[in-house]
Each structure stands twice: as structure tokens, then as C-alpha cells.
Amino acid sequence: MRWLKFNFVGAIGIGLQLAVLGLFRSALHFDYMLATALAVEITVIHNFLWHERFTWGDRRAGSRWESLTRFARFNATNGAVSIVGNLVIMRALVGELGMNFVVANLTAVTVCSVANFLLSDRVVFERRAVRGG
């Protein structure tokens, strides 16, 4: 069930990322690499907020500090995979092969999603050890 929730949030995130990418690239004429990096980071923030409350809502943070720590871990793991993965794939598909930037971005998001789920489940929203009494 968690995988479905993760993909539901991811689908919303894809829509957001494509909208932001389109805005930065087409309307504001940013370079496709800068537009991609900014769109991914905005989406990472969006996805963290949804994952913390919805996807991994059963593993609630015990405090605001823990939530901020999780956000830092999410950015360092999912953010890094997403930004590096997206930039490398976009460079290859758009820069080298001349593919449409929207199709290339969808490809990049798909490739990064499995790694991001595993990192989220095992590193960011890990189960807390239950202490015996």
C-alpha cells in the first residue's frame, strides 16, 4: 500500500515538476539544466511534505526537530538522487540526443523513483527501534 501512496504523491509531484519546468523553460527562458534543477528541488520539498503526512504518516516525527532532520535526510537522499539523476539523464537525452525536454524529464523521474522509494523507506522514514521494558 505504501508503494501506491508513494506513487500517488509522485504523480502529483510529476505534474508540479513539469509545470514548474515548463514555466522556467518556456515562459522565463531559463537554460534547461537550471530549469530542471529548480523544478526538481521545488518538487522534492512538495513530496517531502506529502510523504511525511500521508505516505509514512504511521511513522510520525516525534518533534519539529526530528521533522527538520528528516527533511535534511530527504533532501540529501531523494533530493540528491532526483537532482543528479535528472540532470545526468536530461543532459544525455536533451543535450546529446535532442529529445523533447518534457519526455526526457518523464524518463528521468521514472528512473529515479525506485531508488527514492527505498531511500525514503529505509533512511528518511525508518522504523524506530522499539525499546523493551
- The arithmetic mean of pLDDT across residues 98-116, rounded, is 89
Residues 6+ positions from 81 with CB-CB distance below 8 Å: 112, 115, 116, 119
What pTM did the predictor assign? Answer: 0.78
Running DSSP on this structure, what letter comes out for residue 17? H
Residue 109's pLDDT is what?
83
| Helices of type H across 51-100 | 64-74, 80-90
- In the predicted model, is pLDDT for residue 47 greater than 60? yes
pLDDT of residue 129: 47
Alpha-carbon span 116 to 63, nearest angstrom: 24
Q: Residue 104: its pLDDT value, please?
A: 92
Number of H helices, E strands in the chain: 5, 0
What ranges do the domains of the chain cover?
A: 2-124
Separation CA 11–CA 62 (nearest Å)? 28
Give me the chain's average pLDDT, please.
90
Q: Decide: 68 and 107 in contact? Cβ < 8 Å.
A: no
